[in-house]
Amino acid sequence: MKPKQYYRTHRKAIHTATSGLLYATGWSVGAVTRFDDIGVAVLLAATLVGGYDVAKAALYELRERTVGIKTLVTMAAIGAIGIGEYWEAAAVVFLFSLGSYLEGRTMRKTRAALTELLELAPDTALVRRDDDLVEVSAFDVEPGDVVLVRPGEKLPVDGEVLGENRDEAARGNVMQNVAVAVVTVGLLLAGVLTSVVHLAGGMLVHEGSVLLVISNGMRLLRH
């Protein structure tokens, strides 16, 4: 990877790391030596490096006549410089840049994990319509539809388990021990193997209520 391309790809990380290094250097110089002017210059450089993107975004916010967190951070940094608290200006900018970088990194990992999970989900689902089973695209399943999932199969949609469907199996329409799931913002995620989820007496059991939030994300990505 060429240096310019590497910089563009890792720009935020480079700016954050440089700002932090300059902040630590400037604070150390001012604290343990008498070269106050050098320490101030380094702290101002840290504020400039870490705050450039923040200030740029703040200008866009002001143009849209809105006041967001980037505008407030920029105002705080300018105010700190105005009263001579250079280390506070550098600290505010660095900590905000670090938090923004970590948030973006976490979001990218989460998005990649959700995308990978979606790729594991089947493209079709068996939906119960009246007394018949109809194979439809997983994208066409609507909240409230009843989806039949056989043991060992992957869940085609996010759903909430109702129980096993022995009545259907008895009529010969589907295999025995077929799990039934209602498509809703529920507890099970598309792409999960039914054999991986604990089976107790033929019923799917899952105790991950935290997946409720992820379920929203899955449905957003799917559509």
Q: Are residues 10 and 113 in the same domain?
A: yes
Q: Are residues 27 and 111 in the same domain?
A: yes
Q: What is the pLDDT along the chain (223 residues), one digit of tens a residue?
A: 677 787 788 888 888 999 999 999 988 887 777 667 888 899 999 999 998 889 988 999 888 888 889 999 999 999 999 998 988 999 999 999 999 999 988 998 988 887 777 677 778 877 777 778 788 887 777 777 777 777 667 777 666 665 544 444 334 343 333 444 444 334 454 544 443 333 333 333 333 222 222 233 333 334 3
pTM recorded for the entire structure? 0.56
Residue 35 has what pLDDT?
63
Q: Are residues 106 and 163 in the same domain?
A: no
| Residue that is last in its domain, among 118, 150, 172 | 118
Taking the C-alpha atoms of residue 29 and residue 38, their distance in angstroms, rounded to an integer, is: 7
Q: Are residues 148 and 82 in the same domain?
A: no
Q: Are residues 97 and 135 in the same domain?
A: no
Q: Which range of residues forms the domain containing residue 150?
A: 122-222
What CATH code is carried by the domain that includes residue 164?
2.70.150
Q: Are residues 150 and 217 in the same domain?
A: yes
Q: Are residues 30 and 107 in the same domain?
A: yes
| Residue that is last in its domain, among 97, 118, 139 | 118
Residue 195 has what pLDDT?
39
Q: Are residues 17 and 92 in the same domain?
A: yes
| Residue that is last in its domain, among 64, 98, 118 | 118
Residue 158 has what pLDDT?
67
Residue 159 has what pLDDT?
65
Tally of domains in the chain: 2
Residue 9 has what pLDDT?
81
> DSSP characters for the chain?
--HHHHHHHTHHHHHHHHHHHHHHHHHHHHHHSS-HHHHHHHHHHHHHHHHHHHHHHHHHHHHTT---HHHHHHHHHHHHHHTT-HHHHHHHHHHHHHHHHHHHHHHHHHHHHHHHHHHHS-SEEEEEETTEEEEEEGGG--TT-EEEE-TTPBPSS-EEEEEE-HHHHHTTSS-TT-EEEEESS-SB-TT-BTTTSEEETTEEE---TTHHHHHHHHHHHH-
Q: Are residues 9 and 112 in the same domain?
A: yes
Q: Are residues 145 and 205 in the same domain?
A: yes
Contact at 8 Å (CB) between 154 and 192? yes
